[in-house]
Chain A
Amino acid sequence: MKSIKLSKVLLQVLLIAFAVVQLYPLLFLFFFSLKDNNEIYSGNVMGLPQHFYWSNYENALLNANVGYYLLNSIFVTLVVILVSDILACMVSYAIARMTVKINGIVKTFFSLGLMIPLHAVLLPVFIMLRNLKMLDTYQAIIIPYIAFALPMAIFFMIGFFQTLPRELEESAFLDGCGIYRTFFQIMLPLVKPALATISVFTFLSTWNEMMFAITFINSEKYRTLTVGIMQMVGKYTTDWGTMGAGLMVATLPTIVIYLLFSKQVQSGMVSGAVKG
């Protein structure tokens, strides 16, 4: 009995130790976002700040423009989520419910997308955007992001539509409801929980995406947080506090969403793993 108790304590120690390993880098970031260079250079890199320089945040948000990048990121991410959610719902409804011969081909076609790494299309999409004079615009990242959010969203939504009972639609059709009205007024409200999951998944991949963003976006006006922070590095390498504050601003929305929707985030990410 005693040995069981001991091993339980030992397990808890291990669990806490691992929690520290997982959290410390974030805490380290928070700490140095509040320090000034003097403190860091005089040896206090790791610990609590002696003075809290909240002005680092002001500096990052206003002078380093992180506030503006934040707004850009929010705008881009919202558009991507909204459009890809609607498009994915339409396709998945058609695939899950409608009886058209080419259904199988359409489904396979979209699920192939789960296998395509972004690298494989980077250069062709870059040249395409360049020829269309669309480089360095919001569309330059929004459209590719939507395209790459679709396969996962469709894959997930088909599964969800298939679990819904058919009776509701049947009675709607009998009442003379057309297919579009049935879809928008009856089916869409029913898939809200699945939409939350898939939106969170799309949020994370869009918010954090880097390769397309740093390649397709350059000018100040369209920079999202990832691009903005990459560009900040040159100018603020030596200003740890401002850099740290910028990184905190980029991270905070994700953490807030995670704390609010941790169940959806977790289930969305687990189903996203199938994508590999």
Chain B
Amino acid sequence: MNKILGNKKAYFVFVFPAFVIYFVMAFIPIIISGYYSTLEWNGIGEKVFVGIENFLELLKNDAFLSSVKNSFILAAASVIGQLIPAMFFAIVLSRNIKGEGVYRTIYFIPVLLSTVVIGQLFLKIYNADYGALNALLQKLGLEGQDWLGNTKLVLAASFFPIIWQYIGYHMLILYTGIKGVPAEIYEAAQIDGANEKQMAFMITMPLIKSTIKVSMTFAVIGSLKLFDLIWVLTKGGPLHASEVPSTLMYTTIFTRMEYGSGSAIAVFIVLECLLFYFLIEKFFKVDNLTY
């Protein structure tokens, strides 16, 4: 038995194919990205080693700084705009309300849609001339706006679908967490005279802290590396007004052919994500609960 399960050749056969693909397509490229970030290179010509020059230049680059600021705004908006409604609906649905399963299924649908589809859809909703939003506003007697063309509105307009899409995801994560809390705890609380609100704040939320942490991590890190929706809606424009680091990375690499500088942004995104991952991990020190 142990001899069979300790068979090194079989182990190799099982692990090697996946190892190669993963190593070549994920592991090595990360290291290469790090290397590229120290170069001045347009992808075709000579590679010039510049050390940390690319990173220092980023710190002086207004477009980059505002893209980072925008991603922080999005992270904060996501935590507030996704987690609060998600928590509310998760708590409501977990209390055996009528139609629980149907609502859960419906709320989750936006999560499944491709960002390309959602992006195109919201382009039609925001369309300045014939869009649904302006049509609605006109019916209400209000003035329509050029939602994605106005530098003051574009950030809010492009963040809205992003936040909207994932509320159902967080709801499901939190809902699953809440369902893991034993019913006896609620029964005991009810006998002690606790009302629904007290149970939500004093029992549910403290007990599902580790689930909230998962949701929080997902909302923050997802915001920091967001690319798709902004790319479809605005490509970061107009005038960098809706730029986020990953869209700036993309145009730096593929439009401006600055491979070194673009890679520096890529490295920045990875480090930023790791940093926030550990920060949330630290602030949310959770003891593993067993019932």
Contacts and interface: CB of A to CB of B under 8 A. Distances in A.
Nearest to B272: A117
Interface residues of A, number: 91
A249 to B, nearest CB: 10
Interface in A119-166: 119-125, 127-128, 143-144, 146-148, 150-151, 154
Given A117-B269, A210-B231, 11 more contacts: A12-B98, A90-B15, A93-B14, A99-B6, A112-B27, A119-B249, A123-B253, A124-B29, A124-B32, A258-B108, A276-B221
Contact of A250 (B93, B107, B114): B114
Contacts of B274: 115
Interface of B: 1-2, 4-8, 10-11, 13-15, 17-19, 21-22, 24-30, 32-33, 36, 43, 85, 89, 92-93, 97-99, 103-118, 120-122, 124-125, 130-132, 135-136, 164, 167-169, 172-173, 176, 214-215, 217-218, 221-222, 225, 227-228, 231-232, 246, 249-250, 253-254, 259, 262-263, 266-267, 269-270, 273-274, 277
B4 A26 contact: no
B107 A98 contact: no
Contact of B18 (A41, A91, A230): A91
B240 to A, nearest CB: 18
A208 B115 contact: yes
A274 B216 CA distance: 11
Given A22-B109, A266-B172, A276 B222 contact: yes
A84 to B, nearest CB: 8
Interface in A1-60: 8, 11-12, 14-15, 18-19, 21-23, 25-26, 28-29, 32, 40-41, 43, 45-46
A70 B19 CA distance: 31
Task: List 8 tightest A-B contacts by C-beta distance, closest first.
Answer: A147-B25, A121-B29, A124-B29, A94-B14, A124-B32, A208-B114, A87-B18, A90-B14
Contacts of A15: 89, 92-93, 97, 99, 103
B273 A254 contact: no
A154 B18 contact: yes
Contacts of B164: 21
Interface of A: 8, 11-12, 14-15, 18-19, 21-23, 25-26, 28-29, 32, 40-41, 43, 45-46, 87-88, 90-91, 93-95, 97-100, 106, 109-110, 112-113, 115-117, 119-125, 127-128, 143-144, 146-148, 150-151, 154, 170, 173-174, 178-180, 183, 204, 207-208, 210-211, 215, 225-226, 229-230, 233, 240, 243-244, 247, 250-251, 254-255, 258, 262, 265-266, 269-270, 273-274, 276
Given A98-B7, A124-B32, A147-B22, A18 B1 contact: no
Contact of B106 (A19, A150, A179, A243): A19
Contact of A254 (B112, B122, B218): B112
B114 A240 contact: no
A250 B116 contact: yes
A94 B11 CA distance: 6
A255 B232 CA distance: 22
Given A15-B103, A210-B231, A254 B114 contact: yes
A120 B250 CA distance: 11
A193 B262 CA distance: 42
A45 B130 contact: yes
A270 B231 CA distance: 26
A144 B27 CA distance: 11
B116 A226 contact: yes
Interface centre among A87, A120, A128, A258 (most CB of B within 10 A): A120
B270 A116 contact: yes
Given A124-B33, A211-B227, A87 B17 contact: yes
A90 B17 contact: yes
A238 to B, nearest CB: 10
A276 B218 contact: yes
A119 B214 contact: no
B122 to A, nearest CB: 8
